[in-house]
Structure formats: structure tokens, C-alpha cells
């Protein structure tokens, strides 16, 4: 599904997101220290959990989920997705029980009148600098004027970038957006062909382009700090049907994931190794990328509301669903696991 943002012909290019009441300190919630509690007991009866896998670096704690869940008497039925949007569709249709999706997907689901998506916890954050083709000069946001920038319209990173431009007072119309479909590899190929000067995408493809000598990270272009969007990279979620009928299995899935996340967050080499095995990328790429990503969710119910508000005001969704979207975020199981 594609989403369009309301664009004006003058001024900033977008309608301004007004009355952002929460401070950036709340929006960019700092990760507090926590320890994972003891492992829950195995289930008395064997359970099957259908899990969606998205092969990106900040989801590397998914690497050994299948093997670890066997210890809890849980069999995993595996599905793989290239995009969060595909994982969201699968959750809403009950094709999978749990998966990672985008932090803005609760607003999208709520705007469609669905309650069959429950956000469980965020997964990580990172700085997000424009990736610029070598030979092209971009030192700050004003330098994007006249450039061709590859975007994935409707994606989480695109929304971060677009809202940052609003807050910086930079017209969206100042550059030429080049819509790129598919995964991150398509962005790198477009840059190599000379179709784009810069790109708004995600790890590990950002670091891959830089590692291969094709591009560089532009200084002073961090778009991860938009007040209305926040720095969250993703969100573990469940279908409401699974959350209702398989809650104990989902709790054990979360324990396995969060336990692996905690271990990787303490050991960057272990994170980079898992990252390489999970995504299939060489360690030379994942070692650098792992330094950029901070594992551990920063998503809050308040941020979900701000995301929904911004998405409505910019025409990405057609209904105002701030409260409804926030009601779909339930991190109680994650908080129970973290001590």
C-alpha cells in the first residue's frame, strides 16, 4: 500500500505538525538499564507459533529464536518478509502470530478500523544520516536542494525524513524524490547506476553502500530526531487473535528475544557476528553497522500517539486515531520480563 503526504505548492511544502506537546526528552526516551528476569517454565502442552522474520540488523536477536523456543515446548512456523508493510498485512490477516513491523503501523491499522494488531515493544534506535553518493556534496539539509534522493514512500525512515524536513523548515519540494520499490539492495543499485544522488534507507544497506566505497554518511543530516516520529527502528507485534489465544507462547518468545537483545547490547562483537549470520552480510559490513545501532526499544505509548497525529495531519492516514492507535500498544509483557 502506498501513502501520499499532503504537499502544498508554497511555504514549507507540508502542513506543519502543530502542538507537539511532549518534549524531545520524552520522545527520544533514553533506554534505562534493566536486567532480564529468569526464564519462564516450558509450556505444559506443545504450542506452534507462526513468526515473521525481517532480515535487518536491528532484529538480529531473532537469529536463534527457533532453536531457543524448542526449550519452551514451542515449535516455530517461519515466514520471511522483505518489508514491514508485508509483515503488517500478514499479522492483520492472522497469517502469522508475531513479527516485527514499523512503529507507525499501529496508526495505519487503527485508521483502517482494525484492532487485530498489538504492539509489544520497540527494538532499537540509531542515528539516521543521509547516505550520499561519493562526488556529490551534501553537508547539511539545505544542500539537498536540486538533488535526486531515493526514498521508499510510506516507509518508517521516509516518514522520519519527511517530518524532520518540516521541523527544520526545509521544503520537501526542494529536491527530487525518486521512489524505489523493494528492499535496500534496489537503492544501492540505483545509486551505482547514477539514478540518485543520495538515499533515505535503513541498515544494513546504509553501511553496505559506505563499506563498498559507493557512498558516505553526510554530516549534519541526522533525521532520527523528529519530535513527532522519534528514533524507534521497529516494533515487535502480535495479532490480537494470537495475543488472546497464545499469550503464554508469546511471552516466551519475548523472553527469548529480549534475553538475546540484552546479551548483544553488552557485546558489540557478538552483535556484529549475529547480525552477519542473520542477514547474510559479510562481517566487514555488519561490524560497522553494529556500531551505529543501539539495541533496545525506545517506543512509548505517547510516541505512538504522536506518530498517529502526524500521520493524520500529513494525509498518510485518513482518520484521526491518536487514542485508538495508542490503545493498540501493550508493552506489559515486555515490562514483566524486564526487571
Of the candidates 117, 123, 39, which has an alpha carbon nearest to the alpha carbon of residue 326? 117
Q: How confident is the model at residue 33 (pLDDT cuts 50, 70, 90)?
A: low
Q: Is the pLDDT of residue 320 over 60?
A: yes
> How far out from the chain centre does Cα 316 lie?
17
Of the candidates 313, 310, 321, 27, which has an alpha carbon nearest to the alpha carbon of residue 159? 310
d(CA 115, CA 90): 14
What was the pLDDT predicted at 34? 65
Residue 327, all three cell numbers:
490503545
Average of per-residue pLDDT across 309-325: 92
d(CA 159, CA 259): 30
Q: How far is CA 114 from each of CA 97, 106, 214, 259, 324, rounded to the nearest angstrom?
A: 16, 9, 42, 31, 10
What was the pLDDT predicted at 181? 87
Q: Higher confidence at residue 247 or residue 159?
A: 247
Q: Is the pLDDT of residue 160 over 70?
A: yes
All domains of the chain, ordered by start, with CATH? 37-125+231-337 (3.40.190.10), 128-217 (3.40.190.10)
Q: Is the pLDDT of residue 72 over 50?
A: yes
Average of per-residue pLDDT across 283-296: 93
d(CA 264, CA 185): 26
- Counting every residue written for the chain, the total comes to 339
CA angle (338 as vertex; 272, 265 as ends), nearest 5 = 15
pTM of the model: 0.84
CB atoms within 10 A of CB 6: 11
What was the pLDDT predicted at 228? 86
Q: Is the pLDDT of residue 15 over 50?
A: no
pLDDT in tens, 229-250: 999 999 999 999 999 999 999 9
User: Residue 53: helix, strand or coil by DSSP?
Assistant: strand
Q: How confident is the model at residue 5 (pLDDT cuts 50, 70, 90)?
A: very low
Task: Report the percentage of the chain scoring pLDDT > 90.
Answer: 81
Q: How far is CA 271 from each of CA 107, 144, 282, rounded to the nearest angstrom?
A: 31, 33, 13
Q: Is the pLDDT of residue 165 over 70?
A: yes
d(CA 135, CA 272): 29
Q: What is the rounded average pLDDT for all residues in the chain? A: 89
What was the pLDDT predicted at 11? 31
d(CA 150, CA 136): 14
| Contacts by residues 287-292 (CB-CB < 8 Å, ≥ 24 positions apart) | 288/207, 288/210, 288/211, 289/57, 289/203, 289/204, 289/206, 289/207, 289/208, 290/57, 292/126, 292/127, 292/203, 292/206, 292/207
Amino acid at each position: 500500500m502506498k501513502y501520499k503526504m499532503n504537499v502544498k505548492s508554497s511555504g514549507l511544502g507540508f502542513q506543519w505538525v502543530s502542538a507537539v506537546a511532549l518534549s524531545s526528552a520524552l520522545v527520544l526516551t533514553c533506554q534505562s538499564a534493566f536486567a532480564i528476569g529468569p526464564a519462564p517454565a516450558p509450556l505444559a502442552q506443545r504450542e506452534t507459533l507462526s513468526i515473521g522474520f525481517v532480515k535487518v540488523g536491528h532484529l538480529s536477536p531473532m537469529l536463534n529464536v527457533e532453536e531457543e523456543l524448542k526449550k519452551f515446548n514451542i515449535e516455530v512456523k517461519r515466514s520471511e518478509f522483505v518489508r514491514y508493510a508485508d509483515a503488517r498485512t500478514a499479522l492483520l490477516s492472522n497469517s502469522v502470530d508475531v513479527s516485527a513491523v514499523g512503529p507507525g503501523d499501529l496508526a495505519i491499522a487503527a485508521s483502517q478500523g482494525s484492532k487485530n494488531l498489538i504492539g509489544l515493544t520497540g527494538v532499537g534506535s540509531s542515528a539516521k544520516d543521509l547516505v550520499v553518493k561519493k562526488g556529490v556534496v551534501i553537508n547539511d539539509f539545505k544542500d539537498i536542494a536540486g538533488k535526486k534522493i531515493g526514498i521508499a514512500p510510506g516507509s518508517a525512515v521516509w516518514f522520519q525524513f519527511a517530518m524532520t524536513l518540516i521541523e527544520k523548515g526545509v521544503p520537501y519540494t526542494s529536491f527530487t524524490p525518486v521512489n524505489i520499490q523493494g528492499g535496500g539492495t534496489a537503492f544501492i543499485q540505483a545509486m551505482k547506476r547514477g539514478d540518485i544522488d543520495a538515499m533515505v534507507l535503513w541498515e544494513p544497506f546504509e553501511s553496505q553502500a559506505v563499506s563498498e566505497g559507493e557512498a558516505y554518511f553526510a554530516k549534519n543530516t541526522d533525521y532520527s530526531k523528529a519530535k513527532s516520529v522519534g528514533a524507534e527502528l521497529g516494533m515487535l507485534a502480535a495479532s490480537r487473535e494470537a495475543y488472546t489465544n497464545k499469550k503464554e507462547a508469546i511471552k516466551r518468545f519475548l523472553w527469548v528475544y529480549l534475553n538475546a537483545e540484552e546479551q548483544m547490547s553488552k557485546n558489540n562483537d557478538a552483535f556484529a557476528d549475529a547480525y552477519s549470520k542473520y542477514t547474510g552480510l559479510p562481517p566487514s559490513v555488519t561490524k560497522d553497522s553494529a556500531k551505529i545501532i543501539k539495541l533496545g526499544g525506545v517506543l512509548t505509548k505517547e510516541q505512538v500517539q504522536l506518530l498517529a497525529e502526524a500521520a493524520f495531519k500529513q494525509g498518510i492516514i485518513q482518520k484521526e486515531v491518536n487514542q485508538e492507535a495508542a490503545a493498540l500498544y501493550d508493552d506489559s509483557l515486555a515490562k514483566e520480563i524486564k526487571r
